[in-house]
Amino acid sequence: MNILTTLAAFVTALALTFLLSRPTTRWQWLDHPNDRSLHQRPTPRTGGIAVLVGGLASGFLLALLVPATHALLIALLPGLLPLIVVAWFDDQRGVAVGWRLTVHVWAALSLALLDLAPRWLRLLGGSWPLPEWVAVILTALFVVWMINLYNFMDGMDGFAGGMAVIGFSTLAWLGRADTGFSSVCLIVAAASAGFLVFNFPPARIFLGDIGSTILGFLAAACGLWGQREGLFPFWALLLVFSPFIMDATVTLVRRLLRGEKVWQAHRSHYYQRLVLLGWGHRCTVLAEYALMLACAGSALLAVHWPLAGQATLVAVWALVYGLLIWGVSWLEQRLHAPMY
The tens digit of pLDDT for each residue in 200-240 reads 988 889 898 899 999 999 999 999 999 888 899 888 999 99
Least reliable range by pLDDT among 209-223, 243-257, 325-339: 325-339
Q: How many CB atoms lie within 10 A of CB 130?
A: 16
Work out the burial of residue 18: count CB atoms within 10 Å of its CB; fewer than 13 is exposed, 13-18 middle, 19 or more buried. middle
Q: How far apart are CA 107 and CA 101, in angstroms?
A: 10
| CA nearest neighbour of 210 among 1, 6, 8, 13 | 13
Strand partners, 126: 123
The tens digit of pLDDT for each residue in 91-127 reads 787 788 888 999 999 999 999 888 888 877 666 656 6
The pairs formed by 331-337 with CB atoms below 8 angstroms and a separation of 24 or more are 331/274, 331/277, 332/273, 332/277, 335/277, 335/278
The domain segmentation of the chain, as residue ranges, is 2-32+40-336
**Taking the mean position of all CA atoms in its chain, how far away is CA 286?**
17
| Contact assessment for residue 267 and residue 276, using Cβ atoms and an 8 Å cutoff | yes
| CA nearest neighbour of 160 among 115, 191, 125 | 191
DSSP 67: G
What's the maximum distance between 2 C-alpha atoms anywhere in the chain?
70
